[in-house]
C-alpha cells in the first residue's frame, strides 16, 4: 500500500490547490448568494471526493480514503438536490461534512503512522476540519457573510496542509527510490 500512496503524492497536492482556490473565491466574493455559494461548495465537495475515491482505488485497499471521498461526494449531491435549503441547514451540512471528513482523515493518519512519516499533515488537516465543524455547529445562525469568510479561511488552511502533505510524500518517495526509477 505504501508504494501506491507514494506514487500518487500529487493527489493531496491537487486537493490542496482546489481547496485554496475555493477558499480564495469565497473570501474575495463574500456577497455571493446562498445558492451560488451552495453550488461552489457542492462542486468542491464532489471534486474533493472524486480525487479521494480515485486515490483509494489506486491504493487497492479502498478503506478510509474511499469513505472520506464518498462522504464528500454525497454531501455535494445532497447540496445540489436541495438548493432551496435554509441557510442554517446549509451551514449544518457544512459542519457535519467537516467533522466527518476530519475524523476520517485523522483515522487514516493513525492507521498509516507506522508506514509513513508524514502522517501528521493529514492529522492536522483532520483536526482543522473538526475544529471548523464544531465552530459552525456552535452558532449556525451567525451571519452568512461571516460564515463565508470562516469557510474560506478553513478551505485555505486545509489546502495548505494538503499541499504540504503532497510535497512531503513526494520528498519521502524520492528519498526511498534511486533517481530515474
Residues 63-116 pLDDT 10s:
778 888 999 999 888 878 876 554 567 778 888 999 999 998 898 888 877 777
Pick left, alpha or beta for residue 33 (phi over 0 → left; psi -120 to 50 → alpha; otherwise beta).
beta
| Cβ atoms 98, 154 nearer than 8 A | yes
Instruction: Phi first, then psi: give them for residue 37, nearest 5 degrees.
Output: -60, -45
Which letter does DSSP use for residue 81 in this model?
H
Contacts of 82 (CB under 8 A, 6+ apart): none
d(CA 6, CA 173): 6
* Cell of residue 81, nine digits: 438536490
User: Is residue 29 helix, strand or coil?
Assistant: coil
Q: If you classify domain 2-176 with CATH, what class do you get?
A: mainly alpha
Residues 17-45 pLDDT 10s:
999 998 998 888 876 656 677 788 889 98
Torsion sign, CA atoms 46, 50, 51, 52: positive
74: nearest Cα among 55, 57, 52, 59: 52
Domain boundaries defined on the chain:
2-176
What's the pLDDT at 96? 92
d(CA 89, CA 161): 28
Residues 110-142 pLDDT 10s:
887 777 777 788 888 899 999 989 988 887 766
What helix, strand, coil percent values describe the chain, rounded to 5?
80, 0, 20
* Cell of residue 123, nine digits: 492529522
User: Is residue 39 helix, strand or coil?
Assistant: helix
Amino acid at each position: 500500500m505504501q508504494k501506491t500512496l507514494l506514487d500518487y503524492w500529487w493527489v493531496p497536492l491537487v486537493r490542496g490547490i482546489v481547496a485554496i482556490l475555493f477558499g480564495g473565491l469565497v473570501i474575495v466574493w463574500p456577497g455571493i448568494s446562498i445558492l451560488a455559494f451552495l453550488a461552489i461548495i457542492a462542486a468542491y465537495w464532489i471534486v474533493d471526493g472524486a480525487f479521494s475515491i480515485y486515490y483509494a482505488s489506486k491504493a487497492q485497499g479502498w478503506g478510509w480514503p474511499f469513505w472520506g471521498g464518498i462522504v464528500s461526494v454525497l454531501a455535494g449531491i445532497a447540496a445540489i438536490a436541495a438548493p432551496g435549503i435554509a441557510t442554517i441547514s446549509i451551514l449544518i451540512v457544512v459542519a457535519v461534512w467537516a467533522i466527518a471528513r476530519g475524523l476520517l482523515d485523522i483515522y487514516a493518519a493513525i492507521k498509516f503512522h507506522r508506514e509513513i512519516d508524514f502522517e501528521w499533515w493529514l492529522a492536522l488537516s483532520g483536526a482543522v476540519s473538526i475544529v471548523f465543524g464544531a465552530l459552525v455547529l456552535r452558532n449556525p445562525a451567525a451571519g452568512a457573510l461571516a460564515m463565508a469568510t470562516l469557510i474560506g479561511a478553513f478551505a485555505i488552511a486545509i489546502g495548505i496542509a494538503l499541499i504540504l502533505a503532497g510535497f512531503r510524500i513526494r520528498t519521502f518517495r524520492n528519498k526511498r527510490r534511486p533517481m530515474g526509477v
